[in-house]
């Protein structure tokens, strides 16, 4: 178990589909047993684009959490919460806005892209420009080391790193820092303290990145340090600035090859998706009517799996033997397309059966779900309040 925290969020804009499962949620499920994880519903982010349809958000918040649980997110391992129930996110967003150059926001590639793509909406708002900054607040609040996201979100994580750096640069000059850091080194115990000093020297004098990494690991594992001392020692290791907000890294979700029922990437906006908990009859219908290799006009025409969207689904769902059966059968016209689709239908229905079983208790008793989220919000707030105490102090707001 690594102690480095993982944070990620999703906007509640509709029922999650198989692309979300294979692209993101499967990854979250794996991470939750390796790291402390926080996953949240980014309802404020949804408002930046859907401010004129608030019911979309309300309807989808709880359904989305059910989809997460259906996918195998375990509330015993992961903290699940709703962004707007942790109002510290808004405060951090506001405080960070003081030091965020407008140009940085205007240059984030998703800003212009999304305005053009969603041209039916008026996105020339203050809230939409601030989207990446709100995201930075989400991440920095928990001093996350890793942010599992798709490729499109990498610029937002990069932007978050720049904000953290700017914040630490402006506010990380604690009075008496050197003395406090030296005191904190002693608290490591003599053996660890010596190792720490060696790694610090190796990094600062020779730029040895391995030493930096080892130093960080040593601090991660040191158990008797307060949060403040640990942060000081991270800063002292890297060069005597105190790190108040930690720089996160994107944990790139392997590009999901999950195709939709038309062969394009599965996406709700393309109308080619299958929901995680879609009705089985509807799934059968969608797959049966899926287009196949256009060269197979008649049952007796041989086909080529590489030109067929159904084959893409076999790559996600079928074992080696079934794939072999498809390749041979398709190219020799010894199987029909409906026959070929059946194992895919069976595999999707089996996968969804598990989702439905996991979701059922929460549909039967919504209070179970509310309790999980209430508990998650409380846990998240504890961390958030600790971070905010330090942020306020660093920004001169701790007067009494
Ligand atoms: N912008 C992300 C998306 O559209 C959602 C999000 C909001 C997020 N805050 C976050 C993701 C913080 C990771 C970390 O997918
Ligand atoms: Fe596609 Fe299968 Fe039909 Fe070949 S047999 S065209 S792979 S559906």
Give the model confidence (pLDDT) of 229-288 as tens digits: 888 898 888 875 678 999 999 998 776 678 999 989 898 888 999 999 999 999 999 999
**In the 8-state DSSP scheme, what is residue 78?**
E
Q: Where in the chain is the domain with CATH 1.10.240.10?
A: 277-363
Residue from 6, 7, 9, 132 whose mutation best tests the ligand 1 pocket (most atoms within 8 A of CB): 9
- What are the structure tokens assigned to 28, written together? 């979250």
Q: In what order do the strands lie in the sheet with 37-41?
A: 78-82, 37-41, 6-10, 146-149, 249-252
Percent of the chain whose predicted confidence (pLDDT) is above 70? 98
Q: Is the dihedral of CA 395, 397, 399, 400 positive or negative?
A: negative
CATH number for the domain running over 277-363:
1.10.240.10
Measured CA to CA in angstroms, residue 52 lies from 48, 56, 63, 115, 130 at distances of: 9, 9, 20, 16, 18
Centre of ligand 1 to C-alpha 45, Å, is 8
- Per-residue HEC secondary structure of 294-329 comes to CCCCCCCCCCCHHHCHHHHHHHHHCCHHHHHHHHHH
CA 157/CA 135 separation, integer angstroms: 8
Output the furthest CA–CA distance in the chain (Å, rounded). 84
For the range 111-114, what are the long-range contacts, defined as Cβ-Cβ under 8 Å and sequence gap of 24 or more? Answer: 114/49
Residue for token digits 């990145």?
209
In this structure, are residues 121 and 127 in contact, taking their beta carbons and an 8 Å threshold? no
For residue 176, the model assigns a pLDDT of 79
- What are the structure tokens assigned to 369, written together? 């779900």
Ramachandran region, residue 6 (left: φ > 0; alpha: ψ -120 to 50; beta: rest): beta
In this structure, are residues 62 and 12 in contact, taking their beta carbons and an 8 Å threshold? no
CA 108/CA 136 separation, integer angstroms: 13
Query: How many other C-beta atoms can be found within 10 angstroms of the C-beta atom of residue 253?
Result: 19
Q: What is the pLDDT along the chain (400 residues), one digit of tens a residue?
A: 458 999 999 999 889 999 999 999 999 999 999 999 999 999 999 999 999 988 888 889 999 999 999 999 999 999 999 999 999 999 999 999 999 999 999 999 999 988 998 888 889 999 999 999 999 999 999 999 999 998 889 999 999 999 999 999 889 877 778 888 899 999 999 899 999 999 999 988 888 889 999 999 999 888 888 888 888 898 888 875 678 999 999 998 776 678 999 989 898 888 999 999 999 999 999 999 999 999 999 999 999 999 999 999 999 999 999 999 999 999 999 999 999 999 999 999 999 999 999 999 999 999 999 999 999 999 999 999 999 999 999 999 988 7
In this structure, are residues 254 and 163 in contact, taking their beta carbons and an 8 Å threshold? no
CA 351/CA 317 separation, integer angstroms: 10
E strand segments, the chain: 6-10, 37-41, 78-82, 146-149, 249-252
Angle between helices 366-394 and 227-239 (to 10 degrees): 50
Q: Angle CA(319)–CA(323)–CA(326) in degrees, nearest 5? A: 145
Centre of ligand 1 to C-alpha 180, Å, is 36
Angle between helices 131-140 and 43-50 (to 10 degrees): 180
Closest by Cα among 286, 285, 251, 288 to 272: 286
Q: Which atom of ligand 2 is nearest to the CA of 304?
A: 4
Q: Which ligand has its closest atom nearest to the C-alpha of 315? A: 2
CATH 3.40.50.720 fits 6-172+365-394, yes or no: no
Q: Where in the chain is the domain with CATH 3.40.50.620?
A: 6-172+365-394
Q: Is ligand 1 within 6 A of the CB of residue 147? A: yes
Q: Which ligand has its closest atom nearest to the C-alpha of 302? A: 2
Centre of ligand 1 to C-alpha 9, Å, is 5
Q: Angle CA(371)–CA(375)–CA(380) in degrees, nearest 5? A: 145
Instruction: For residue 146, list its beta bridge partners.
Output: 6, 249
Centre of ligand 1 to C-alpha 56, Å, is 18
Q: What pTM does this model have?
A: 0.85
Instruction: Give the total residue count for the chain.
Output: 400
Residues in CB range of 75: below 8 A, 6 or more apart: 69, 372, 375, 376
Query: How many other C-beta atoms can be found within 10 angstroms of the C-beta atom of residue 302?
Result: 13
């Amino acid at each position: 178990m690594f102690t480095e925290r993982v944070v990620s969020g999703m906007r509640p804009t509709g029922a999650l589909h198989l692309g979300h499962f294979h692209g993101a949620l499967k990854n979250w499920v794996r991470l939750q047993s390796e790291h402390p994880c926080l996953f949240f519903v980014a309802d404020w982010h949804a408002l930046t684009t859907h401010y004129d349809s608030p019911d979309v958000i309300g309807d989808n918040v709880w359904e989305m959490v059910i989809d997460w649980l259906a996918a195998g997110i375990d509330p015993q391992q992961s903290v699940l919460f709703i962004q707007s129930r942790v109002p510290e996110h808004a405060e951090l967003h506001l405080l960070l806005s003081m030091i965020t150059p407008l140009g940085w926001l205007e240059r984030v590639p998703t800003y212009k892209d999304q305005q053009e793509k969603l041209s039916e909406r008026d996105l020339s708002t203050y809230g939409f420009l601030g989207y990446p900054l709100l995201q930075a607040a989400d991440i920095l609040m928990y001093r996350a080391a890793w942010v599992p996201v798709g490729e499109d979100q990498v610029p937002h994580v990069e932007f978050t790193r720049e904000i953290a750096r700017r914040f630490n640069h402006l506010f990380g000059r604690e009075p008496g820092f050197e003395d406090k850091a030296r005191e904190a080194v002693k608290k490591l115990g003599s053996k660890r303290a010596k190792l720490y000093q060696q790694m610090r020297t190796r990094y600062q004098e020779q730029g040895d990145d391995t030493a930096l990494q080892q130093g960080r690991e040593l601090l991660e594992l040191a158990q008797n340090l307060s949060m403040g001392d640990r942060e000081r020692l991270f800063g002292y290791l890297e060069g005597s600035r105190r790190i108040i907000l930690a720089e996160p890294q994107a944990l790139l979700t392997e590009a999901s090859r999950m195709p939709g029922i038309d062969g394009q990437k599965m996406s709700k906006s393309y109308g080619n998706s299958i929901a995680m908990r879609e009705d089985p009859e509807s799934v059968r219908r969608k797959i049966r009517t899926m287009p196949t290799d256009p060269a197979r006009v008649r049952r007796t025409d041989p086909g080529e799996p590489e030109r067929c969207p159904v084959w893409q689904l076999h790559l996600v769902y079928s074992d080696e033997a079934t794939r072999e059966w498809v390749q041979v059968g398709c190219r020799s016209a010894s199987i029909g397309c409906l026959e070929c689709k059946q194992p895919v239908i069976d595999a999707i229905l089996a996968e969804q059966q598990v989702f439905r079983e996991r979701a059922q208790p929460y549909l039967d008793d919504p209070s179970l779900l509310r309790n999980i989220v209430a508990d998650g919000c409380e846990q998240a707030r504890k961390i958030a309040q600790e971070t905010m105490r330090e942020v306020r102090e660093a920004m001169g707001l701790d007067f009494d």
